[in-house]
Chains A and B, each alone.
Chain A
């Protein structure tokens, strides 16, 4: 592991994963907020909202994330002049967050909607029978139960999100995959240790995270 005795290389490695961490954190919040709103739209009684939610899901779930990130940079920023920050790295970061959130929100929406489907009809019917409104039924009866049913799917969505964050490297952010590429090109004699360091970091964090979400899902599952 001689490669990582050079402080510069360690720095590249650490910066790469810091970007991934920051991208994942901000996009998780963005995707969750957007996704819950979209899911609420898709089950609402208003046809326009249902249509909007469905269109969003169909467009973004079927478009490659690479294309979305590409568009955020070359379309939104370069052509349409949409700028978030004057700092180039920070600007790319926020463009990446927008792309990741918009894409992941479609999956979050679908997961929550399928979670709503696991709540027995009797629950919502009982809520309506005691006079609750749509909003009350949704927020007090259905979503709390649906939320506990979607922990496992949401967990895998956010694990996928953290892996997808590497794609932001396309628009020039030195996240971990671009960092690995740079290190490989500079140290052709140490390809395997470099790959193992980068891939291993992902594996060490994400494999336990996957089992953690599974454990949480069974623990919090609504017993029926």
Chain B
């Protein structure tokens, strides 16, 4: 159901004129806003060619931006694999019939979902070395933080997915004599994972964005390399931030598009559970 068609009728002559007037009025307002931003930039000399020029040079890309992007995607990829493992383990834990498994697993998942990721990263990076008495690699501080948080989010998503598999599936599996572990492993998880694929991919958007937190503990990711280091050399922090933001938007939009495509695909096959609609916004850290 598309909202546009529902909220208002197909415009008649009067509505067309009104819409045209509104279009013009808001168009002018937006142009005004754009001009105001332009003028503000101009006032501070932010359109100067020297500030933008570094981005036309190959060395800026090969020295700063591409390595930064590599570190961002690398941390995101490792964290994704680990969070999937963590997510599946703890989802199964929370679904267990044994209280001594279910309650601790639930406590871990709830705890790590409620703690800000930055707090977690600070603890891992600054706190853990005091306990282990050896320095913590910044890469693993970022990855572990991301894993604990996103793994917990995914665990909840998987649990919802397993609940959404129709009861007949597990009943049939028990009826042909499968054991609990087999039902989970061979019947429930494959179907849940499939219907959860769009959620998993949208969680990757969250992961890619969250690697930027690594900047705060000086992990050389895209924000650190592309904005901080580039602007330290060329004094163009506004321009660098805009360029890096565009890169993030491109990467994340393609992931979102992939999630949308997967969702349409699963729906076509008719396997998408009706109750498993998760708003990825909630995990917007």
Contacts and interface: CB of A to CB of B under 8 A. Distances in A.
Chains A and B bind each other: yes
Interface of A: 43, 45-50, 52, 58-59, 61-67, 70-71, 74-75, 78-81, 103-104, 107, 110-111, 113-114, 116-117, 121, 124-125, 128, 134, 137-138, 142, 152-153, 156-157, 159-161, 163-164, 166-167, 169-170, 176-177, 180-181, 184-185, 188-189, 191-192, 194-195, 198-199, 202-203, 206-207, 210
B111 interface: yes
A48 B23 contact: yes
Contacts of A104: 284
Nearest to A20: B116
Contacts of B245: 59, 63, 67, 71
A46 B118 contact: no
A28 to B, nearest CB: 14
A152 B231 CA distance: 41
B115 interface: yes
B123 interface: yes
A108 B124 CA distance: 31
A193 B241 CA distance: 38
A49 B212 contact: no
A64 B209 contact: yes
Sorted from nearest, which 3 A-B pairs have the closest CB atoms? A156-B282, A64-B212, A62-B252
A107 B110 CA distance: 22
Contacts of B127: 184, 191-192, 194-195
B109 to A, nearest CB: 10
Interface of B: 1, 3-4, 6-9, 11, 15, 19, 22-23, 26-27, 30, 40-41, 44, 46, 110-111, 113-120, 122-123, 126-128, 130-131, 205, 209-213, 215-216, 223, 227, 231, 237-238, 241, 244-245, 248-249, 251-253, 256, 279, 281-285
A194 B123 CA distance: 9
Contact of B256 (A62, A163, A206): A62
A52 B32 CA distance: 14
8 contacts: A52-B30, A64-B223, A75-B238, A80-B44, A124-B6, A152-B279, A184-B123, A202-B119
A49 B8 CA distance: 15
